[in-house]
Amino acid sequence: MQTAVQAFRDHLAPIIDLRSAAAVLGWDQETYMPPGAVEARAAQLGTLGKLAHELFIADETAALLEMAQKEVEGMEYDSDEASLVRVARRDLEKATKLPSDLVEELARATSMAQQAWQEARAKADFGLFRPHLDRLLDLSLRKAGALGYEDHIYDALLDEYEPGMTKSELESVFDGLKSELVPIARAIAAVGNEAHLFLGSNYDAQSQWDFGVAIMRDFGFDFDRGRQDRSAHPFTTTFSINDVRVTTRIHDDFLPAGLFGSLHECGHALYEQGVSAGLERTLLADGASLGVHESQSRLWEILVGRSREFWAHYYEPLQDRFPDHLGGVDREQFYRAINKVEASLIRVESDEVTYNLHIMMRFDLEIDLLEERLAVADLPQAWNAKSEEYLGLVPGNDAEGVLQDIHWSLAAFGYFPTYALGNLMSVQFFDRAREEIPDLHGQIGRGEFGDLLRWLRDRIHRHGRKLTAGELLERTVGSELSAGPWLAHIRHKYSDLLGVGFR
Ligand code: ZN
């Protein structure tokens, strides 16, 4: 006889299929779709999204969930069955709280806002985007109200991306981070660091691509269960544990963009490829949270890919590929160049030291908007003031200021903090990996990543969504989220690199 859990799983499987099919269409839209297909594709995605949503919130789902719930009582917390029921209940509660007219309204408003945002950014004219953002803020306030929260309205939205995280928890981490990080960034700026001119100019695109792919293979990306393509904005998307897609962009005149973009997305993809096979075609086959996801991409991109050990192994092969550019640049110069720290206006181009400052200023502004203490009309001035406060720089126009990121045009309030959480968690996880793999630095210096990947698979990847970020940290690191290890990493790396002491 079929068990209730199996029946529930069978009921959810076609919903996962619809979502995966939508992801294929979304991936295609960003990679190969001709521009004329925009409207047709929006309709197709709308239909698939609506079908998946309706199937999910159907009475049958709740009925099957109740039966499955009885069956998993007494089962291990981590078992596939108990975890599926627990996570499905959380998802279903949220999905049913949102009135469908609000869901539809948000979908329509964001698709219009994205167009307006693109035009506004191209013309550096916030006025073109302003009415759309007003509307999205209004809808987001309604959404947060529908979802509900205990403490602060921000919690309802943050929970979409980082389940269980709250504004007050974030504030206590960010406050400590800010007071330590701002002086460190200033001290580094005062020392100044080398220009990276030799990173510019006419790097052959195919050679860049091949070099990145070779490292992805070494990291353990399985090209039989995934592929890489080009897109304007790099991303990773998953259609199955056995089909994970990454994209990258190659700049002929800036080597780090494509190279570290590939390593970053590869980190996301290794997570997805590492989810336990038994979770295929279930709600559990995904990352624990966006913060944990970002911890994996930043671990491979920065803690491995921008380390001195890593380039002990890979610099010669890179020089061999680009002798005209790098033949006369020694390894230490290269290492310094790819770790140059300089406050800049654009988040996606920022270095690992100043990156979190970009996130904290956005967090402050989102809180002010959601508390309705800041009007959308006053956002550009507020942005510029925050930019001055955190980065010491004031944007010359709205395109390099308030309009630079796509997130608000998607009504994704509460998303930005996950980038900083990922940075902090990456070091917490990596420190523990180093303790448990004593030769890790030696291995990285020989281009060997098997032990590291196996460790990450065992502690993080295989669980998929079974455990929350907090649970993963507790079990793996034995502590809560903390900025301390990340700050220690920054102090250690840059005092060595620049010969300056930090207090
Ligand atoms: Zn990422």
Distance (angstroms) between ligand 1 centre and the Cα of 278 equals 25
Can you give the CATH number for the domain in which 176 is found?
1.10.1370.30
Rounded distance from Cα 347 to ligand 1 centre (Å): 13
Range of the domain at 50: 4-125
CA of 388 from ligand 1 middle (Å) equals 26
Q: What positions carry a catalytic annotation?
A: 265
Could you give the dihedral angle defined by the CA atoms of residues 466, 411, 237 and 38, in that order, rounded to the nearest 10 degrees?
Answer: 150
160 assigned to some structural domain: no
Q: What one-character DSSP code corresponds to residue 396?
A: S
Are 272 and 375 found together in one domain? yes
Tell whether 191 is covered by a domain. Answer: yes
Total domains in the chain come to: 2
Tell me, in angstroms, the distance from the centre of ligand 1 to residue 503's CA. Answer: 31
List per-residue pLDDT tens for the chain, 503 residues long: 679 999 999 999 999 999 999 999 999 988 999 988 988 988 898 899 889 999 999 999 999 999 999 999 999 999 999 999 999 999 999 999 998 889 888 988 988 898 899 899 999 999 999 999 999 999 999 999 999 999 999 999 999 999 999 999 999 999 999 999 988 988 887 776 665 666 667 899 999 999 999 999 999 999 999 999 998 889 999 999 999 999 999 998 888 889 999 999 999 999 999 999 999 999 999 999 999 999 999 999 999 999 999 999 999 999 999 999 999 999 999 999 899 888 899 998 899 999 999 999 999 999 999 999 999 999 999 999 999 999 999 999 999 999 999 999 999 999 999 999 999 999 999 999 999 999 999 999 999 999 999 999 999 999 999 999 999 999 999 999 999 999 999 999 999 988 877 76
Q: Please answer whether residues 315 and 475 qualify as being in contact, where contact means their C-beta atoms are separated by less than 8 angstroms.
A: no
Q: Residue 207 Cα, ligand 1 centroid: separation in angstroms? A: 24
Residue among 297, 284, 332 at smallest CA distance from 79 = 284
The number of residues in the chain equals: 503
104 and 180 inside one domain: no
pLDDT of residue 42: 84
In the 8-state DSSP scheme, what is residue 378?
Answer: G
Residues 306 and 177 in one domain: yes
Encode pLDDT of 246-264 as tens digits: 999 999 888 888 999 999 9
Q: How many angstroms separate the alpha carbon of residue 10 from the centre of ligand 1?
A: 32
**Each residue's pLDDT tens digit, 116-160:** 998 999 999 999 999 999 999 999 999 999 999 999 999 999 999
Measured in Å, residue 233 CA sits from the centre of ligand 1 at 11
CA of 236 to the centre of ligand 1 (A): 8
pLDDT (0 to 100) of residue 502: 75
Assigned domain for 137 exists = no
Does some domain include residue 412?
A: yes
Q: What is the pLDDT of residue 197?
A: 62
User: Which candidate, 331, 411, 348, 425, places its Cα nearest to that of 376?
Assistant: 411
Cα 383 to ligand 1 centroid, rounded to whole Å: 24
* 360 within a domain of the structure (yes/no): yes
Mark whether 467 and 383 lie in a shared domain. Answer: yes
Tokens of 356: 């979190």
